[in-house]
Structure 1
Amino acid sequence: MISAKSISDTGILEIGIYHEDGSQAEQIANAATYILRTKHNLYHGAGDKVSVKIIDKPITTNWPAKPNIIVNLILAVIFGLIMGVAFIYYYPDYDLDKYLTGLFKRKKKKTIFHNHLEHEFTREEELYDKFDKFHK
């Protein structure tokens, strides 16, 4: 991908090149500057009155420019937090238990001593008992 933009009121043309391989991007940049230096009179009507000079060599990086994994990860975390808070804010009484009943069942037995009688309850039975007492 090649992009060119003119920096306002300077007469400078900035050329940007993206390629997955940094050395390939540098070769494309060198080819583009060579064409502009040698055949610039074909692009404008001033002939030899205009000269083209190279200000900087191509600058490449070892890190990929696209996709920026760190920025994408940070944005995903922020977006997830915002959506989670918005869901909790707009649906505070949403009952997730009906969707999670089969996922987090506890089979751990709990022993309760009451009036010297021993009863064993599973966690699910204990919750149902509390629910029944609350709604009576």
Structure 2
Amino acid sequence: MFLEHSPAQVLRKHWRLVFFAGVILAILSFAILLVTPLEYRADAQILIISKSRYGIDPYTAVKSAERVGENLVQVVPTSDFYNKTMLQGSYKIDKTSFTNVSEKVRRKNWEKAVNASVIYGSGVINVSAYHKDKNNALALAGAAASALVGNGWEYVGGDVDFKIVNEPVVTDYPVRPNLPMNALAGFIIGAVLMSAVVLRKSVV
């Protein structure tokens, strides 16, 4: 069995078929995602400050802060931190996703709603919250940031302080699911699958 023409020639001959297969799958991917709730993201930044300021050079201080941040990032998805966030009374949090559900579902929803990451080289933690409503995303990010500032020492010891350096800011447009990226992925998958079909049929 062999190809009558080279793969490039075969694909060039049937490029319209490959292209339209990609377009169709891209449209299907886009349409399917449209029925899922679109979520905004709110971000807040927290600076980790070492109390041991004497005898430590700036580089070491930042690296130490990064290690503390890495530990806190692992704490954010936990039930304990969830409880501390919900106790932040100055924020009106939509608890619909976390009430009247099993503990397993609540944990899963919490992990999807809030996450954190370390901004390396700065000693800053970025806290992100997702919600279909902008104000609720802001409230959730603000409450999580306040919980970290007020209770972060419980997880890493008392030799560090935390300060919110950027209050929560919400995105102008929904960011999850990422419709353009998913449509592009659908196009690529459709084009690749059709290319495989075309090449397979060209084998004689």
Alpha carbons of structure 1 residues 89 and 36: separation in structure 2 relative to 1, 3 Å:
same
After TM superposition, the structure 1 = structure 2 runs for residues 1-136 of structure 1, keeping only pairs within 5 Å, are 1-46=113-158, 49-92=159-202
Moved over 4 A (4+): none
Q: CA deviation at 1:10?
A: 3.6
TM-score scaled to structure 1, two decimals?
0.57
> Match of 2:161, as an amino acid?
S
Q: 2:149 and 2:195 mapped to 1: Cα distance?
A: 57
> Match of 1:44, as an amino acid?
V
Alpha carbons of structure 1 residues 51 and 91: separation in structure 2 relative to 1, 3 Å:
same
Q: 2:199 and 2:148 mapped to 1: Cα distance?
A: 58
Q: CA deviation at 1:5?
A: 2.2
Uncovered stretches (5+) of structure 1, i.e. residues with no partner: 95-136
Higher helix proportion: 2
TM-score scaled to structure 2, two decimals?
0.40
After superposition, give the CA deviation of every residue in 1:81-127 in whole Å (9 maximum; x if it has no partner). Answer: 22112211111279xxxxxxxxxxxxxxxxxxxxxxxxxxxxxxxxx
Q: 2:114 and 2:154 mapped to 1: Cα distance?
A: 19
Uncovered stretches (5+) of structure 2, i.e. residues with no partner: 1-112
> Match of 1:7, as an amino acid?
I
Identity %: 27
Q: CA deviation at 1:11?
A: 2.6
Alpha carbons of structure 1 residues 93 and 45: separation in structure 2 relative to 1, 3 Å:
closer
Q: How many residues align?
A: 92
Q: 2:118 and 2:193 mapped to 1: Cα distance?
A: 41
Q: Which structure's CA Rg is the greater one?
A: 1
